[in-house]
Amino acid sequence: MNLIKDFISLFYPRLCYICENSLFKNEVVVCTRCALHLPETNFHLDEDNPVSRVFWGRVEIERATALYYYKKGGSVQTLIHQLKYHGHKEIGIYLGQLYGAQLMEVEDYKTMDMIIPIPLHKKKLKQRGFNQAETFARGLAGTMEKELVTDNVYRAIATSTQTKKGRYKRWENVSDIFRVREPENLANKHILLVDDVITTGATMEACLQTLKKINGTKLSVASIAFASH
């Protein structure tokens, strides 16, 4: 079987999504060299970090973190672009698995109950074919052995909070964007809410506000990347 695989990879080598060099058998998604240069934040090791500060005074959370720093033109942008617009779901799953192992070393993350990816509006989901945040959440949930919940929270309003321009810089009533089908299933749970990139935190905040209304929820946040602005 390995012989056949090696033979196939002679003609169809798997490539590193960053530098596009062929991957070795033991490498996944990115080559060892590129992996070494990815800008890890290690925010999960510090309760007070730039991602948690995004939510200060806006919504009460337990922990917040991001795997990488996001820089325009950087390799993390390349990875997220390949995931989001070229449908390479294995990137999100792989990064989730990678980060899940790191998060399990921190008690607060280890003891969380479930993982929920920020949902896309159904129109957007149809257009893209998949939810990029869900791939990361799936990787995290697998490695952390947590329940992955994808059908309870949904997005009722399509307009993005990130790109909305004009008179309303931010939604006056952010709690209208997301809705919950069965709040009783989330009551008294510590939920890790997951997205691909956190920039202003507006989308995340809207979803957190909705979940906060449910009795006894504890909320935390994780993303693939954090873009400071």
Residues that bind Zn ion (CB under 5 A): 16, 18-19, 31, 34
DSSP, collapsed to helix, strand or coil, labels residue 84 as: helix
Least Cβ distance, residue 225 to Zn ion (angstroms): 18
Least Cβ distance, residue 18 to Zn ion (angstroms): 5
Least Cβ distance, residue 125 to Zn ion (angstroms): 31
Q: What whole-number distance in Å separates Cα of residue 85 and Cα of residue 83?
A: 6
Nearer to Zn ion, 23 or 180 (CB): 23
Least Cβ distance, residue 21 to Zn ion (angstroms): 5
Least Cβ distance, residue 138 to Zn ion (angstroms): 24
Using alpha carbons, list the distances in angstroms from residue 102 to 44, 67, 130, 184. Answer: 8, 10, 26, 30
Nearer to Zn ion, 20 or 182 (CB): 20
Least Cβ distance, residue 91 to Zn ion (angstroms): 13
Nearer to Zn ion, 19 or 45 (CB): 19
Nearer to Zn ion, 18 or 67 (CB): 18
The owner of tokens 């989308």 is 203
Contact of 71 with 221, CB cutoff 8 Å: no
Region at 20 (left for phi over 0; alpha for psi -120 to 50; beta for the rest): left
Radius of gyration of the chain (CA): 18
For 154, phi then psi, to 5°, come to -140, 160
Q: What whole-number distance in Å separates Cα of residue 121 and Cα of residue 174?
A: 15
> Could you write out the DSSP letters of every residue in 123-138?
HHHHHHSS-HHHHHHH
Region at 10 (left for phi over 0; alpha for psi -120 to 50; beta for the rest): alpha
Nearer to Zn ion, 30 or 222 (CB): 30
Nearer to Zn ion, 16 or 186 (CB): 16
